[in-house]
Amino acid sequence: MLENNKKSALGRGMETLLPKDFDKTILSSENERINKVEIELIQPDKNQPRKDFNEDSLKDLSESIRVHGILQPLIVTRPSDEGIYTIIAGERRWRASKLANLKSLPVIVRNEEDRNKLEIALIENIQRVDLSPLEQAKSVYELHKNFNVTYDEIGKRLGKSGKTIANNARLLQLPQAAMDALNRNDITEGHARSLLSLSGIPDRQKELLESIIKGGWSVRQAERWVVALKKIGLDSKTAHERVKTENLLTKKLGTIIKAPVSLKRTAKGGRLEISFKDEDDLKRIIDKLI
C-alpha cells in the first residue's frame, strides 16, 4: 500500500513510494532482476537444513498462491549444465506452488558460494516459528562444521548469544529415542537439556526419558533428579524420591491445614510450599500454623 501523503513522499525520493512488501531486488542490476523459470527446472538444495514441512501450512500457502500468486520470488543459483536451478531460499514457496499446479515461478538468480547459500537458507529458516528445535540444531551445526563458522558468529547473525546457539546444536547429541520424543513434543527443550547432562550414561538417560514421559515430569523435576543423581550421588531410587512433590508428611500437614502442600528440593535442602486461594485463606492457614 502506498504512503498516504503522496505529495510529501515525492520530495523524499522513490524509496518512500514503494509498498512496504515490495521486493527491492527488482531495482538491482539487470542480472539480479526477477526471471520466470519453469517449476520443473527448479529443485531444492540437498544441503537445505530444513527437512520437514507442515502439510496443513503448505496447503494454506498453496491456496493463497492460487489466489494471489507468488508475492516474494525465490532465490536460486545459476542453472547447471542440465539447466536446473537450485533453491537458495524459498523451498516452502516452491513446494506450495507445486501443490497449486503452477507452471513457472518468479526467481532471482544469484551466483552464491556454498557457504552463502546455506547461510541464507539458515537465516531464513531458523527464525521461522514453525521450525523444530532439532531442525534449528541441524542448521547451526551444518554451518559450524562444514563452513568453519563459530557459534558466536552465527549468534551475531541471528541476534542470539553464541552460548545459546551452541546449546541448541548440542540437541543433536541426544539419543535417537529422545530426539523422536522431542519431535513428537513429548518432551521440551528444557527436558532435552537435562537428558544431555547425562551424556555418557545411556541407562540413566533412558530412565529419565521414561520418567518424564510416563510420569509427566516437569523440567524442574527432571533437573532435580539429575542433581540428586550426579551432584549428591544418590542412587536412582532415592533420586526418584527427591523428585516427588509430596510425601506422607506433606499429605499429613495438608490435611491439618486443609491446603495443598508440596516439596521443592534443591541440592542441599529445599523448600515447603503451601498454596492458598485468597487473602482470607492465607490468614486461615497462618492461624492454623501458629
Read off the CATH number of the domain in which 69 is found. Answer: 3.90.1530.10
Residue 206 grid coordinates? 533412558
Alpha carbons 37 and 209: distance in angstroms, whole number: 48
pLDDT of residue 285: 86
Question: Is residue 254 domain-shared with residue 189, that is, in the same domain?
Answer: no
Q: Is residue 10 part of a domain?
A: no
pLDDT tier, 1 (very low <50, low <70, confident <90, very high otherwise): very low
Q: Is residue 229 part of a domain?
A: yes
Q: Which domain holds residue 197?
A: 174-243
Is the Cβ–Cβ distance between 186 and 215 less than 8 Å? Answer: no
Assess whether pLDDT exceeds 60 at residue 247: yes
Q: How far is CA 151 from the centre of its chain?
A: 16
Alpha carbons 35 and 108: distance in angstroms, whole number: 6
Assess whether pLDDT exceeds 70 at residue 145: no
CB atoms within 10 A of CB 197: 17
User: Which pTM does this prediction carry?
Assistant: 0.50
Q: What is the pLDDT of residues 48-70, one digit of tens each?
A: 656 667 788 888 888 888 888 88
Q: Is pLDDT larger for residue 45 or for residue 196?
A: 196
Q: Is residue 120 part of a domain?
A: no
pLDDT of residue 122: 63
Q: Is residue 265 part of a domain?
A: yes
Q: Is residue 284 part of a domain?
A: yes
Residue 38's DSSP bridge partners are 104
Question: Is residue 239 domain-shared with residue 253, that is, in the same domain?
Answer: no
Name the domain count of the chain.
3
Question: Is residue 263 domain-shared with residue 235, that is, in the same domain?
Answer: no
Assess whether pLDDT exceeds 70 at residue 201: yes
Question: Is residue 109 domain-shared with residue 26, that is, in the same domain?
Answer: yes
Question: Is residue 34 domain-shared with residue 79, that is, in the same domain?
Answer: yes
91 labelled catalytic: yes
Question: Is residue 105 domain-shared with residue 38, that is, in the same domain?
Answer: yes
Domain final residue, candidates 77, 96, 113: 113
Q: Which of 55, 91, 189, 279 is catalytic?
A: 91
Alpha carbons 150 and 166: distance in angstroms, whole number: 9
Question: Is residue 99 domain-shared with residue 182, that is, in the same domain?
Answer: no
